[in-house]
Amino acid sequence: MSLDHRLSPEHEELRRTVEAFAHDVVAPKIGEYWEQHQFPYEIVQEMARMGLFGLPFPEEYGGMGGDYLALCLAIEELARVDSSVAVTLEAGVSLGSMPIYLFGTEEQKREWLPRLCSGEALGAFGLTEPGGGTDAGGTRTTARLDEATGEWVINGSKCFITNSGTDITALVTVTAVTGRKPDGSPLISSIIVPSGTPGFTVAAPYSKVGWNASDTRELSFTDVRVPQANLLGELGRGYAQFLRILDEGRIAISALATGLAQGCVDESVKYAKTREAFGRPIGSNQALQFKIADMEMRAHTARVAWRDAASRMLHGEPFKKEASMAKLYSSEVAVTNAREATQVHGGYGFMNEYPVARMWRDSKILEIGEGTSEVQRMLIARELGL
């Protein structure tokens, strides 16, 4: 495969458009939302009007007719300014809408995708459980088919679910045990649960270290009944379906991490040029120049990694290992760059009024969500035959 990560004119135009939106619209407002732990409905509505939530989906379902690269470019540019806004888009598309597009029936696609693509509504992805974490195969949530009524009866709980409790959340797709294999292992299926279904309870937002302007909640299901037709994809294939979703999602999270890492460079360069010490800009000191140069090198390399994984995916080539490498590297780069950017800013880097303080607190989750760094190393080793 030829490796050419230069963007097409269409992709570059999109990147520039989202870059301008992030700096002109998101940057002036997001700090207040973040400080007050509020979901930025106004910003999300503007993102919806731009068509960002429909980027990778066909026009017949209300999408923009773009591709996954377009989505990741938008996520990276948003994350250069703020990760809460970026993850709202990432989770809304790759975790909320994509399962329905990839595995849904035609009826399910036409019922849900137009609203999700328009940004009028958000979807969420209910996989992680309080006692599970990385062990997604250990799902305890159950769904029993009531033959008399033709309904699934769901009981259980989920945790750390993004976009699950906003005023515009329309559905959560949950994984649940729907039976047992001959060897006793669980059959896990995916089921669409519309918001407001009786017995479906959304807890108050978590108090988090970072991503304070994104919506993250715990969910509980007590005898929740939904039609049998709400099964998403094949019975018993829910776990396999979402492993595929997570493979693709790791590319998007890598783009987000790259954006955060690049945002740390942007802020550090700007600060180093204007902050003076001992009668000259601190950026004239070689020690600081080298620190920022290393930050730029890491962000650039992370970008090459996620674009390579995205290119392989779009060409129909194997990409699991590349997605894991991109996610692992970019998330660790984001944490490193955030720490270094805080150091460049000195005492001001510890003040929330400066974006790097927010980036520092937002970065750590990137080494945990969508598969921990340890899991990524395990997957890479497995792909190497170890």
pLDDT in tens, 281-333: 999 999 999 999 999 999 999 999 999 999 999 999 999 999 999 999 999 99
Q: What is the pTM of this model?
A: 0.95
- The pLDDT assigned to 1 comes to 46
Count the alpha carbons within 13 Å of 37 in the hemisphere toward its beta carbon.
9
pLDDT tens-place string over residues 237-275: 998 898 889 899 999 999 999 999 999 999 999 999 999
The CA distance from 355 to 266, in Å, is 10
Handedness of CA 337, 340, 342, 345 (dihedral sign): negative
Active site residues: 370
pLDDT digits (tens, 9 = 90+) for 156-181: 999 999 999 999 999 999 999 999 98
Bigger pLDDT: 243 or 21? 21
Q: Do the two domains 9-122 and 124-235 of this chain adopt the same fold?
A: no
What are the residue ranges spanned by the domains of the chain?
A: 9-122, 124-235, 240-383
Helix ranges restricted to H, the chain? 9-21, 27-35, 41-49, 68-79, 83-90, 98-103, 106-118, 238-274, 286-314, 320-345, 355-363, 373-383
Is a pLDDT exceeding 70 seen at residue 341? yes
CATH number of the 124-235 domain: 2.40.110.10
Question: Where does the pLDDT of residue 3 fall: very low under 50, low under 70, confident under 90, or very high at 90 and above?
Answer: low
pLDDT at residue 6, rounded to an integer: 83
Say yes or no to pLDDT of 96 above 70: yes
Half-sphere exposure of 244 (CA within 13 A, CB side): 13
CA distances from 386 to 84, 321, 371 (A): 37, 13, 19
What CATH number matches the domain at 240-383, 1.20.140.10, 3.40.50.720, 3.30.465.10, 1.10.1760.20?
A: 1.20.140.10
Average pLDDT over all residues of the chain: 95
pLDDT band, residue 65 (cuts 50/70/90): very high
Amino acid type, 379:
L
Cα separation, 158 vs 132, whole angstroms? 9
Q: For the residues 85-91, what does the mean pLDDT come to?
A: 98
149 φ, ψ (degrees, to nearest 5): -105, -10
Of all residues in the chain, what percent carry a pLDDT higher than 90?
90
Of 2-6, 213-217, 226-230, 278-282, the one with minimum mean pLDDT is 2-6
Q: Tell me the HSE value of 152 on the side-chain side, using a 13 A CA sphere.
A: 29
Cα 121 to Cα 173: distance, rounded to the nearest angstrom: 14
Contact 192, 230 (CB under 8 A): yes
Q: In degrees to the nearest 10, what's the CA dihedral of 12, 102, 315, 333?
A: 60
Contacts for 306 with CB less than 8 Å, ≥ 6 apart:
72, 251, 254, 255, 258, 326, 330
Residue 339 has pLDDT above 90, yes or no: yes
Return the CATH fold of 9-122.
Butyryl-Coa Dehydrogenase, subunit A; domain 1 (1.10.540)
- Residue 136's pLDDT is 60
